[in-house]
A and B are shown apart, each in its own frame.
Chain A
Amino acid sequence: MTSKTPSPSSEPPSFNLSRSLQYYFKRELVPLLADLRLAIFLLLAIAIFSISGTVIEQGQTQAFYQENYPENPALFGFLTWKVILTIGLDHVYRTWWFLAILILFGASLTTCTFKRQLTALRWFSRTWNFYSQPRQFQKMALSAELPQGSLETLIPLLQRQRYKIFQEGDKLYAHKGLIGRIGPIVVHAAMLITLVGAIVGSMTGFFAQEMVPSGNTFQIRNIFDAGPFAASQIPKDWSVKVNRFWIDYTPKGTIDQFYSDLSVLDQAGEEVDRQTIHVNKPLRHKGVTLYQADWAIAAVRFRLNNSPTLELPMAELETGGKGRLWGTWLPTKPDLSDGISVVAKDLQGILLIYDKEGKLVSTVREGMSTEVNGVTLAIAEIVGSTGLQIKADPGIPLVYGGFGLMMLGVMMSYVSHSQIWALQTQEGFYIGGKTNRAQVTFEREMIAMLEQFTEGSAQAAPESALHPGTQTQASV
């Protein structure tokens, strides 16, 4: 409010406030955000804070941090579990301060794009600036005054190098590689588009996970992450049936691929789509994508003596992180006084059978039978369940669009924009050039071109203008 021209007292104070805010925005905030040094600082700050998230384990339990980062002795003298949990180093990429840096970076990017990049487009609206004075050539590093030479001999040389040539009387301007100037603008705009896409996705998308046994039908309910405007994305009028889940194994016994045969059913239960998905090949339906992500063993189907086929669910056993095991208890006497434990470790079809004492008594293959406790146990099937990751992300078209533009932009940005000026005067022929990126290559091109010139005029002037070394060398 301390402006040099005091505003009339009749003006409402709110007007003053908005004026001074506007002033602050234009004179203080925008130049600060458009400052390249801030951008560099933010780039490096994001890099450094990102490192912390790769060194400290993310998303573990409090007990984990208590065990690995004890208070005494503290790692580096300060890094205790309390510090980690207080600052949020256990979930760096979701902390308020990391997001704040990202938002600041987004603001800097936006300001730079509009303030620096888009204004650079003014270049295109300008008139071609020919050089009309010999002194204008002196400031360029790669310039020469040639005793012979003319625009007529220069033009074919430039054409051969695919320069775009503009001529006005004795003055010439030529350039090539203009896309190298547009490239950075495209990259910055593309980053903004990607950023908008990411925000749209996080606001309107959702993530869900379902573990579904073979043969079951499910609706998407187990949503573990959804944006505030995601409700309309969650499907309510269709469901999915898992016809079958299976695993292909290599001859060595390692997993080759997971497969789920899925059917999309409408409200009437009619099949509208059917696909077999695997890792790297998801199913898409109405903007929702189902990915093969996990698996488990759901149940075992068996017969005892002459019973019909029975099914018992199998539960995952605690192994302390040493592989995955599923098991169930199977009674072998009508009064349930005796039974066996059935354990499976994968879907290759082998079941291990333990007795009440925990002794391994038999192994049995799917489709085979074995004699235990005086009864015949025939295994009909080990039922697997498929772990599906389900996602809708309406921001994807924007993100992919941004990605595409960014790839285009970075490739364009490799091109060096080269410009050449020439002027024919009574005193001589002046030529000069500059490029913004490939200085070394451009210098070579330029020298080669100048040499061609002097070679062309060598008959007239035996002393080559570009090889004075042979003359001056003797005096060294």
Chain B
Amino acid sequence: MDLVSLQGWLDNASFAVLFLTMLLYWAGAAFPKIPYLQILGTTGMAIANLCMAALLGARWIEAGYFPLSNLYESLFFIAWGVTAMHFVAENMSRSPLVGVVTAPIAMMITAFATLTLPAQMQSAEPLVPALKSNWLMMHVSVMLISYAALMVGSLLAIAFLFVTRGQNIELKGSSVGTGAYRHVPYRLQKYGETVMTAESARASVEVASNEGAMEGLGNTAVLASPASSTLSAAAALPLSPQRLSLADTLDNISYRMIGLGFPLLTIGIIAGAVWANEAWGSYWSWDPKETWALIVWLVFAAYLHARITKGWQGRRPAILAASGFLVVWVCYLGVNLLGKGLHSYGWFF
């Protein structure tokens, strides 16, 4: 089998499939009443995920080592990671909105790798002596997966900021458990007032759109507590659960994805530090990439702490998480522009 032509076919295919997937998710969000769009989007994402896994697998067989030696390979690995993390987030939230933000970013990464990178940067190359270690797989793959998880989390934070623009929001979910309590206005609301199941909500777009939160986005997500008091008929009905709103869901899934990416980032940095100490005797040397990974870590650590700070809950941590998206990209790509070093994949200007 010709692995090289297979790779050429697979990278174009994953780009095309992701492009289509993005359109499907966007259409699904714009027209939530059209059936099957979400299932089609999820299927597209799965196909793209498998294409990229096959591409990396073919590289592995061809080069004989885990394919993370150059920018092209690492871009496909991170795009694969984004699609994988998409499934984690989608499965957690059961919301088709996840794909609205993850599909375009995965598509853009593959587009950059297949269309922009010059051919000599796409071909597999032998590893330099310093990278010939089993630590490479451990350190780099964990780092890239953590970037993918953090990016998905940051994108969801951006979506949260978009959905809640102009609103005052209290966050749900943090290590101390804020937000598990009822909103004050709802405190004594009884059964029948606040409950809406997904099925009933889908049929009542009008009610939910009163919230302003889901304008133009549809509301097939885990659904909002309706603002209207038209339902408060019988006050004597028993207590019933107060459901999370779309904004709550987005925010919490964003928090969970960052909560997943942060441990991975910590493990990845530590793996790199241990490797550096084993290979050349210094676990920290303020190399630009190392420093930027630390900056990413610090920004998301600040985010996690902002969530439990009184008076800072709301949109402020989400802004921090959203800016984390930029920081991750500077760390991942920007450092290549700064110059050479073990961490540089090189650049093509």
Contact = CB atoms under 8 A, between A and B. Distances in A.
Nearest to B177: A436
A430 B239 CA distance: 8
Interface string A268-306: 000000000011101000000101010000000000000
A86 interface: no
A375 interface: no
B302 A447 contact: no
B180 A468 contact: no
A51 B295 contact: yes
B238 A146 contact: yes
A251 B201 CA distance: 67
A279 B239 contact: no
Contact of B180 (A51, A282, A439): A439
Interface string B266-297: 11001001100111111110101001101100
Contacts of B207: 476
Contacts of B244: 439-440, 443
Contacts of A438: 92, 173, 252, 256
A436 B180 contact: yes
B200 A465 contact: no
Given A140-B180, A444-B94, A469-B200, A47 B239 contact: no
Contact of A446 (B241, B248, B302): B241
Sorting the interface of chain B by its residue count into under 10, 10 to 19, 20 to 34 or 35 or more gives 35 or more
B187 A40 contact: no
Contacts of A122: none
B119 interface: no
Interface stretch (A13-21, A364-372, A405-413): A405-413
B187 A47 contact: no
Interface in A28-64: 36-37, 39-40, 43-44, 46-47, 50-51, 53-55, 58
B330 to A, nearest CB: 9
Interface stretch (A161-169, A229-237, A252-260, A309-317): A252-260
A173 interface: no
A293 to B, nearest CB: 6
Most buried by B among A146, A436, A466: A436
Contacts of B248: 439-440
B61 interface: no
A280 B127 CA distance: 13
Contacts of B332: none
B267 A410 contact: yes
B286 A53 contact: yes
A440 B129 contact: no
A213 interface: no
A55 B295 CA distance: 13
Contact of B174 (A46, A255, A390, A437): A437
B93 A437 contact: no
Interface stretch (B18-26, B48-56, B75-83, B305-313): B305-313
Interface in B190-244: 191-192, 195-197, 199-201, 203-204, 206-207, 222, 228, 230-231, 233, 237-244
Nearest to B204: A476
B129 A465 contact: no
Given A54-B338, A476-B207, A440 B253 contact: yes
Contacts of B1: none
Interface stretch (B65-73, B159-167, B257-265): B257-265
A213 B176 CA distance: 60
Contact of A142 (B128, B242, B277, B335): B242
A14 B152 CA distance: 59
A343 interface: no
A72 interface: no
A440 B286 contact: no
B249 interface: yes
Nearest to B180: A434
A145 B177 contact: no
Contact of A43 (B195, B277, B298): B298
A156 to B, nearest CB: 21
A470 to B, nearest CB: 7
B34 interface: no
Contacts of A198: 284
B26 to A, nearest CB: 23
Contacts of B281: 207, 282, 289, 291, 389-391, 393
Contacts of B173: 435-439
A40 B200 contact: no
Interface stretch (A77-85, A345-353, A376-384, A395-403): A395-403
A184 interface: yes
Interface in A197-233: 198, 207
Contacts of A341: none
Contacts of B279: 279-280, 282, 291
Contact of A413 (B175, B176, B270): B175
A466 B197 contact: yes
Contacts of B204: 473, 476
B118 interface: no
Interface string B154-190: 0000000000000000001111110111100001100
Contact of A437 (B259, B286, B309): B259
Contacts of A250: 126
A439 B207 CA distance: 24
Contacts of A473: 200, 203-204
A466 B195 contact: yes
A417 interface: yes
A54 B262 contact: no
Contacts of A43: 298-299, 301-302, 305
B255 interface: yes
B133 interface: yes
A141 interface: yes
Contacts of B291: 50-51, 53-54
A267 interface: no
Nearest to A141: B242
A467 B241 contact: no
A144 B238 contact: yes
A204 B282 CA distance: 15
Nearest to B248: A439
Interface in A160-184: 180-181, 184
Nearest to B230: A476
B282 to A, nearest CB: 7
Contact of B238 (A180, A252, A465): A465
Contacts of B191: 144-145, 465, 468
A252 B128 CA distance: 13
Contact of B305 (A40, A391, A437): A40
5 contacts: A51-B295, A138-B239, A141-B182, A443-B241, A465-B240
Given A250-B126, A469-B199, 8 more contacts: A44-B299, A280-B130, A280-B133, A439-B179, A440-B248, A440-B253, A446-B241, A465-B191
Interface of B: 92-94, 126, 128-130, 132-133, 135, 172-177, 179-182, 187-188, 191-192, 195-197, 199-201, 203-204, 206-207, 222, 228, 230-231, 233, 237-244, 248-249, 252-253, 255-256, 259-260, 262-263, 266-267, 270, 273-274, 277-284, 286, 288, 291-292, 294-295, 298-299, 301-302, 305-306, 308-309, 312, 335, 338
